[in-house]
Amino acid sequence: MKQRISNLLAYLALTLFIISCFEAKNTALDNNQILYFGGDILTMQGTEPNYVEAIVTNADSIVFIGRLSESKELFPSVREVNLNGKTLLPGFIDAHAHFAGFPSQSIGAQILPPPDAGANNISSLIKILKAWSTPENIQLTGWIFGMGFDDSVLAEKRFPTKEDLDKVSTEHPVMIIHISGHFCVVNSKGLELLDITSETPNPEGGIIRRISGTEEPNGVLEELAAIPIMPMVLGPKSEEALKSFLISGQDMALSYGYTTVQEGRAMPSSHLFLEHAAMTNFLKLDVVSYIDYSVADSLLNTDWYSSSYKNHYRIGGVKLTLDGSPQGRTAWRTLPYLIAPDGAEEGYLGYPAIPNDKDVEDIYENAFRNNWQIHTHANGDAAMDQMIRTLKKVTNKYGNEGRRDVLIHGQYVREDQLDEFKNLDIIASLFPLHTFYWGDWHKELIGDSLGNKISPTRTALNKGLKITIHTDAPVALPNLMRVIWTATNRVSRSGNIIGENERLTPYEALKCITEWSAYQHFEEESKGTLEVGKLADLVILDSNPIKVDIENIKNIVVLQTIKEGSTVYKKETVANIK
């Protein structure tokens, strides 16, 4: 009997131990679970806005969506977060940006024009650069630098030159990057360090601008004379500088609600930068890179090329650039610009990055043969003609099922070209930020009628194309609420309407940076909408973009960014969310 009692007590003790462990496990699980309620929770599912009362997340994913009463029954020990009237959506996924450039934009001299900064003339630009050029800042890269000057807004309506930048410093090299990202200007010291002289030839696809009547460089470098040197010049020169760059760039992205961001044209240096960030477990958001075609064979044959992330980083495919910047007048057109750039002859059309169609066809063939998704930058209609001509040949040979190849920007796309892209099953990632920043300038460059048709989002959507929209940051600030505002308003700096018939609804514009951009990146199974089983990638806004007056969308503020259930950004003034 005593033995039976002893065994019973042992059994009860074991049972109690198991129960206590189970309860402890449940308690630990409950501590990882968060219930959000009390605001507009917009799932982004379906063709019309769909709201739910509550959402519950666990350590990294969504485990419940539905009625608040049901959530409390199913998860009685969950930690509760009352949104207090704020708006919760899926985390934002910009369809095209250059994340490796975010640090330079955020940490460099702020030479954007109003409303983003104060560089509205060359003297103010020089003043900003001088104020920034402290010994501590110069030590970051060895250069005085800033990103985002805009000749179309500067009072002088011209590019600064080396003589202008020599007023900043003759002792230290100076580089400023055009808001398009397709030009830079360096001072005399910079030209010396880059070994660019009167005897340096123009590279294919690029121009070294010269002082009129001479071969002497004036400091302005275009396209492939500029793009390869910019990441080398602006790379951090020490571990401490690298850390400062990483923190500054990532914090900026998170503050705008990004949970997934793109590096849209990775060169070896930018890939190494992101690889380092991943391997040191620094990244708090997902970064997907598209590798420049010139180095694709080496980098896409590594473990980084994957459909899944390693420490929040992966390579997703290839990037091909066929022309330049429309506002910089290097986009390749079939009709002449009405205002040619300095030094160009009448009838100037811009120019191709890769003049020979066979070379472009070979790049596409390499991508199709290896089943690499390819993103193609093309702004001018001549560049898009080249894209269509060459893609047709390769598609006829390999087919395009499941490829999801992407047109990037497409500012001057024609309607007949949109039809061709629909037939080729190309996703059109358009850039309606242009309507605000350069809408007035486009009308001067290509005329009023064509100027109203830039970034034709409504026409593309009506034709049945899959579309997304993007910031192209650091071309502009990675402010996704301003992207939504421009896509729905299409108002220029001067207040002119730029193509009223091309407006999206706020809901459609939000789809472009959530569900549709997740699809573009082959990530619709885990991101883009609020559904059970998807990642708990969330953003909380102070207002609902669908319910506010569309003029006020640009003023909406990100209060909190949540990546896989963890808060990675929180605005200081959000005490009312608790």
What one-character-per-residue DSSP string does 161-211 give? -HHHHHTT-SSS-EEEEETTSSEEEE-HHHHHHHT--TTPPPPTTEEEEE-
Domain count, the chain: 2
pLDDT tens digits, one per residue of 103-120: 989 999 999 988 888 999
Mean pLDDT on 512-540: 98
Distance separating alpha carbons of residues 374 and 403, to the nearest angstrom: 8
**Predicted local confidence at residue 578, as pLDDT:** 62
Region of residue 63 (phi > 0: left; psi between -120 and 50: alpha; otherwise: beta): alpha
Mean pLDDT on 191-217: 95
My answer on whether 65 and 123 are in the same domain is no
Give the pLDDT band of residue 574 (cuts 50, 70, 90): low
**Predicted local confidence at residue 1, as pLDDT:** 39
Instruction: Look up the CATH number of the domain holding residue 192.
Output: 3.10.310.70
**Predicted local confidence at residue 31, as pLDDT:** 59
**Predicted local confidence at residue 25, as pLDDT:** 33
Residue 104, domain member (yes or no): no
Domain end (from 231, 265, 289): 231
What b-and-e string marks burial along 531-569, b requiring 16 or more CB atoms within 10 Å of the CB? Answer: beebbbbbbbbbbbbbebebeebbebebbbbbbbbeebb
Q: What is the pTM of this model?
A: 0.88
pLDDT tens digits, one per residue of 422-454: 999 999 999 999 999 999 999 999 999 999 999
Q: Which amino acid is at 40?
A: D
Residue 75, domain member (yes or no): yes
pLDDT tens digits, one per residue of 23-34: 333 333 345 899
Distance separating alpha carbons of residues 18 and 233, to the nearest angstrom: 61
My answer on whether 54 and 129 are in the same domain is no
What lies within 8 Å, CB to CB, of 99 at 6+ separation is: 249, 253, 261, 262, 263, 274, 287
Region of residue 293 (phi > 0: left; psi between -120 and 50: alpha; otherwise: beta): alpha
Q: Does residue 199 carry a pLDDT above 50?
A: yes
**Predicted local confidence at residue 116, as pLDDT:** 86
Residue 419, domain member (yes or no): no
My answer on whether 141 and 197 are in the same domain is yes
Percent of the chain with pLDDT over 90: 84
Residue 421, domain member (yes or no): no
The total of other beta-carbon atoms located within 10 Å of residue 158's CB is 13
Q: Which residues pair with 65 in a beta bridge?
A: 55
Residue 262, domain member (yes or no): no
Instruction: Look up the CATH number of the domain holding residue 565.
Output: 2.30.40.10
Domain ranges, residue 566: 33-91+531-578
**Alpha-carbon separation of residue 154 from 14, 121, 145, 168, 492 (angstroms):** 78, 4, 18, 17, 16
My answer on whether 134 and 204 are in the same domain is yes
Enter the DSSP assignment of 300: T
Give the pLDDT band of residue 576 (cuts 50, 70, 90): low
My answer on whether 45 and 121 are in the same domain is no
Domain end (from 231, 258, 284): 231
Query: Roughly what angle, to the nearest 10 degrees, separates helices 381-398 and 415-423?
Result: 20
My answer on whether 124 and 159 are in the same domain is yes
| C-alpha radius of gyration, the chain, whole number | 26
CB 363 within 8 A of CB 317: no
Q: Does residue 14 carry a pLDDT above 50?
A: no
CB 329 within 8 A of CB 337: yes
Residue 567, domain member (yes or no): yes
Query: In the predicted model, what is the mean pLDDT of the chain?
Result: 92
Least confident of 192-196, 268-272, 354-358, 419-423: 268-272
My answer on whether 58 and 134 are in the same domain is no
Q: Does residue 19 carry a pLDDT above 90?
A: no
Residue 76, domain member (yes or no): yes
My answer on whether 85 and 150 are in the same domain is no
Q: Does residue 21 carry a pLDDT above 60?
A: no
My answer on whether 71 and 143 are in the same domain is no
CB 313 within 8 A of CB 278: yes
My answer on whether 122 and 208 are in the same domain is yes
Mean pLDDT on 539-562: 98
pLDDT tens digits, one per residue of 118-131: 999 999 999 999 99
Could you tell me how many residues make up the chain? 578
Domain end (from 231, 266, 283): 231
Tokens for 511?
């789809």
